[in-house]
Amino acid sequence: MKIQTLFIWVTRLWLFLLPLQTHYVLQSETLEAHLWPFGEISLYLLDILLVVVIFVALLARKSWRAVPLSSIVGFVIFVALLAVSVFVNHDAKNTWVLFLRFLEGFFLLAILAVIPDKTRFLGIFFIAGIFGASFFGVWQFIAQYVPGSSYVGVAEQIPSVAGVSVLLSSIGRYMRAYGTFSHPNIFGGYLASASLFLFALVLRRKENFITHGHNIKAFVRQHGWVVASVILFAALAFSFSRSAWLGLACGLVVLAAVTIQRNYRHELRLWVFAALIPIIFLTTNVSVFSPLITERVLVRESVEQVSLQDRHRSIVDGVDIIKSHWAEGIGLGRSTYYIQAQGEGKLYWWEIQPPHNIFLLLAGEASIFTAIAFLWVLLFLSRDAYIAIKSQRRSRFPLSALGLSFVVLIVVIGLFDHYLVTLPAGIFLLFTLLGFSVRTSIEENT
């Protein structure tokens, strides 16, 4: 086997296994006698596999795609500023561990940018892995039970237990779908990402989706995406993640807006046809679970009101941290400990959360300069994606527009959640999306 082929397949395998959260806990952390994930130090199966991918990538460096230095210089500055923050706050062990996660993410981004593979094939493996997790999520919501498994890396969840993410409505108490993740919002972020990628691949197809050949293979090739989209959207609906819903909606609007602006009529017809699937499903879902969705959107039940109060409190805490430590930050992963110390024992353990905004969180933990560098990265990625959309061939259109959609998804989720920069699953997702965004903005036959 050629080293280039091995490089391609181990990277595809990593993307396929991305939803798998198998890990070994090296050091657990407790907060008021409860296990605290933000202080946990673990070795993930994905960590080991990523080291293998990096090693193989170095051996196959002669086959790397050319990447302009301007495409990654912003990321280098961002990681460098993170390193400065770590050295300033060097006494905290979990700060070093979280920085290593970001460093892993940077290598992942670079690999996705240079790997000599078709972007659509990488996307198919990315979608396939999340598709498997979506089946698990749909079953969880139907069964109202999450079985614990050390092999998958998921803890047991029961609706009646305090701390489990549930919805209350006139039809009862329902647990949200977790998939293979520690929280439904993380699951929702992965599902929204896979759904956007699937949508772009659908727009890229030139065949007539209404007809198909006379064999099963032809049918699957042309209509397998229908089954995939239904399962993905079902799991996304059952995650009840508002940030993921909004992020996906904004990402799809970007794809539609670019299609209309470029006057791609064939792709626009495909967009409308493909959109009918989630619209029909969501309409059905709303009719069946309307009390749950209504409470989630209108925030009338006490559970939802408490959730919003916790989010608001975390934002206020984030602003307070920035006011006191804007120049040097308090250290990556240290916000919950800072909030606990400032609370002086007045807060319950479940009320102590990182600020639910990654921009405030980065500014408070790693300095305002690091947050500005991250914003700069997103702005330049958006600019590069726009240039790619304007200049690249029509055959590349959906994937070049996908990069801009991913940036929008990151911004929307980042405005309302923290997991993209606080938890391993979120950091891996963040840099996977950033890597695809860099990749799709480069002129290549993908």
Segment 290-332, tens digit of pLDDT: 667 766 666 565 566 666 777 878 888 889 999 988 888 898 9
In the chain, what percentage of residues exceed pLDDT 70? 81
Q: What is the pLDDT of residue 12?
A: 97
The tens digit of pLDDT for each residue in 248-279 reads 999 989 988 887 877 666 666 666 766 776 67
pLDDT of 212 above 80: no
pLDDT of 344 above 60: no
The angle formed by the CA atoms of residues 414, 431 and 50, to the nearest 5 degrees, is 145
The tens digit of pLDDT for each residue in 87-114 reads 887 666 788 889 999 999 999 999 999 9
Confidence of residue 213 (pLDDT cuts 50, 70, 90): very low
Asked if residues 82 and 372 have their Cβ atoms less than 8 Å apart, the reply is no
Q: What is the pTM of this model?
A: 0.92
Q: What is the pLDDT of residue 107?
A: 96
Average pLDDT of the segment spanning 347-360: 83
Residues, the chain: 446
Confidence of residue 211 (pLDDT cuts 50, 70, 90): very low
Tokens 């290593």 locate to 100
335-364 b/e (C-beta count within 10 Å ≥ 16 → b)? bbbbbbeeeeeebebeebbbbbbbbbbbbb
The tens digit of pLDDT for each residue in 124-151 reads 999 999 999 999 999 999 999 999 888 8
Quote the mean pLDDT of the chain: 84
- Residue 42, helix vs strand vs coil: strand
